[in-house]
Amino acid sequence: MKINLDTNKDVPKIYAMSVDGKVFDDGQECGQLHYFYLDGEAEYQNMYDICYGNISAHSMAQNQIVFEAIYIAVDGTKKGCYVSSYYDEASRRMKGYVWLKEDKDSQPFISNAIDAYGIINTWYSITIDGRVMLNLNN
């Protein structure tokens, strides 16, 4: 059973940054996710690849995993996305990519990342249009 959940601070959020440095302000504390980049359709729609994350996104990004998040465009539009977080041996730091759930061309990359690292969120899921659904079966 799934229940629609309004915005929750425990749910990770990814904020697109515009080329002129603007990020949508929804009142949550957020900071740049260094070495994490919008990819595919997310980068194309935003026309820039830098992103920010709320505290939950920063925390989850410290593990070599895939997790679902709410992507928030500069204009406040919300969409569902996947974040792939991996440890890069050469630079000795966590890096990652953000792919929109609606991005058909990125589906093979999303599947490969999930196969390699697994998906971590089990208590919630994010719809394509950015709504949070609480998973009661887990």
**Half-sphere exposure (Cβ direction) of 96: Cα atoms closer than 13 Å:** 32
Answer whether residue 7 shows pLDDT above 90: no
- State the Cα angle at 72 between 18 and 69, rounded to 5°: 130
pLDDT tens digit string along 70-90?
999 999 999 999 999 999 999
Domain boundaries, the chain: 2-135
pLDDT of amino acid 26: 92
Q: Which residue has the tokens 């799934």?
A: 2
What's the CA gap between 33 and 58, in Å, rounded? Answer: 7
pLDDT of amino acid 22: 97
Percent of the chain with pLDDT over 90: 82
Tell me the pLDDT of the chain averaged across its residues.
91
pLDDT of amino acid 118: 85
pLDDT tens digit string along 103-136?
999 999 999 999 999 888 778 889 999 999 887 7
pLDDT tens digit string along 88-103?
999 999 999 999 999 9
| Candidate from 11-20, 47-56, 110-119 with smallest mean pLDDT | 110-119
Q: How many Cβ atoms are within 10 Å of 47's Cβ, its own excluded?
A: 11
Mean pLDDT across 41-67: 96
pTM above 0.85, yes or no: yes
pLDDT of amino acid 121: 76
